[in-house]
């Protein structure tokens, strides 16, 4: 059975739900600790949502220097599937595994709602169980959810098909409605909304979130 690691930082909030989503998708969740510098032989890694280090300095800025991130960056650069959800996405940007940065939502308030996303790239390690153009519904909940980057970087992301998810309606001022992006290789994906909160009927808006974790399983099989 595939083993998918979920990292806990001080202030992580959604690590338990992420581990549960991994289990419901049919993989073995492995809990990883920010202060360790090893990945316990996992096949993929999820950086969960929350307020790691209290979002001090900038959301994700301190976590990017956690010992485990050195091994995550090396593994990601070697092709391991890595998913960053919300605070995890912020950490991936701060670690420079993904482009751009996250700033306060335009309305300067915390936004919490179920959000429709359009799948733009169904060819990444975390989106291959969707189809391009498909709309999915998963929760969004953050304060620093506005994705920004310079025009050149945005054009590059668009031109290389690295925009993976776009908001249908813009909830936070993100440039070009971008909700999630990938790296050049397609193994590292980050997004602000929370797939791990939409994995079981009766608990959240449907089960569209399962597709993310099943995609990783498919990707691991394809590269086995
Ligand atoms: N749900 C979360 O992961 C919150 C992320 C982040 N710290 C923010 O509020 O922007």
Domain spans in the chain, listed from the N-terminal domain onward: 3-222
pLDDT tens-digit series, residues 80-138:
999 999 999 999 999 999 999 999 999 999 999 999 999 999 999 999 999 999 999 99
Helix/strand/coil percentages in the chain, nearest 5:
30, 25, 45
Assign 158 to helix, strand or coil.
helix
Q: Answer yes or no: are the C-beta atoms of 52 and 9 closer than 8 Å.
A: yes
Kindly report the pTM of this predicted structure. Answer: 0.98
Could you identify the atom of ligand 1 that is nearest to the CA of residue 88?
3
Query: Given this structure, which CATH class describes domain 3-222?
Result: alpha beta
Ligand 1 within 6 A of CB of 17: no
Q: Of 51, 107, 114, which is best to mutate to test ligand 1, by the most ligand atoms within 8 angstroms of its C-beta?
A: 51
Assembly ipTM: 0.94
Ligand 1 within 6 A of CB of 12: no
């Amino acid at each position: 059975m595939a083993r998918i690691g979920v990292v806990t930082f001080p202030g992580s909030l959604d690590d338990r739900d992420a581990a549960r989503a991994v289990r419901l998708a049919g993989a073995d969740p492995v809990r990883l600790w920010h202060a360790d510098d090893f990945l316990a032989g996992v096949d993929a890694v999820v950086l969960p949502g929350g307020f790691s280090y209290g979002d001090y300095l900038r959301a994700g800025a301190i976590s990017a220097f956690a010992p485990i991130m050195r091994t995550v960056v090396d593994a990601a650069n070697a092709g391991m599937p890595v998913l960053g959800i919300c605070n995890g996405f912020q950490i991936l940007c701060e670690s420079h595994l993904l482009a751009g940065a996250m700033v306060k939502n335009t309305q300067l308030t915390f936004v919490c709602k179920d959000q429709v996303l359009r799948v733009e790239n169904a060819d990444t390690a975390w989106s291959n169980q969707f189809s391009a153009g498909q709309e999915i519904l998963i929760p969004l909940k953050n304060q620093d959810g506005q994705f920004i980057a310079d025009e050149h970087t945005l054009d590059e992301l668009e031109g290389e098909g690295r925009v993976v998810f776009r908001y249908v309606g813009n909830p936070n001022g993100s440039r070009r409605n971008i909700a999630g992006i990938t790296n050049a290789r397609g193994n590292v994906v980050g997004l602000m909304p929370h797939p791990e909160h939409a994995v079981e009927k009766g608990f959240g808006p449907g089960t569209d979130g399962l597709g993310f974790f099943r995609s990783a399983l498919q990707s691991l099989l394809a590269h086995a």
